[in-house]
A = this chain, B = another copy of it.
Amino acid sequence: MPARYRLTYFNGRARAELIRLIFHAAGEEFEDNRIDTGSWQQLKPNTPFGALPILEFDGLVLAQSLAIARFLAREFGLAGKARFDEALVDSVVDTSNDILGDIVKIIFNEDDKLKRENQKKFVENILPFTLQSLENMFAKHGKGSGYIIGPDLTYADLAVFNALDQAVQAGLVQWQFFDRYKHISGLLRRLEETPRIAGYLKTRPHTPY
């Protein structure tokens, strides 16, 4: 029987990997439809906003990576419980997404000098500042659970993991960079040891971005 959900994106992590992590963390089946740029040119006019990823299910189509991620997180109970907690979760996801945006800007910058400048600014300023902000969120809202908006795992935890994973994948920092951040490094270890997530991380495709 085909999976209920089909996620379509390129063969990369970038803007789709958070969604994949949500499916895996929830233990929900989905078709991980990775397409090449030729197929994309054919598909593009039939997508809501001419961009990937898109999610299809039950005859419906949804676009925009964060709208998809939030919708699935709510379906699977990973979006936070109280309404204000949901908003805090969203704010952490948006902050993680800003980090992803910075990484993409560095990776695809064709001006070598500007690229080096942006890379330096990212590693020396933006990333440490954001990591410290996230540490403070754990302390203030984690309720001692080890998750950023406690007491349970939410897609905010997955978004933080994903942003840092992509910073490492892009060669901007190494995993050890996060050791000095107690809550974050604790979360990373915990997610890597969660069987559903660990299983996916071991078998997911190697891609350049």
Contact = CB atoms under 8 A, between A and B. Distances in A.
A168 interface: no
Q: Give the secondary structure class of A's interface.
A: helix
Interface string A116-141: 00000000000001100100110000
Given A71-B83, A83-B74, A63 B48 contact: no
Contacts of A91: 48-49, 62-64, 67-68
Chain A interface residue bracket vs B: 20 to 34
State how many copies of this chain the complex holds.
2
B94 A50 contact: no
Contact of A49 (B70, B71, B74, B133): B133
Nearest to A86: B71
A130 B84 contact: no
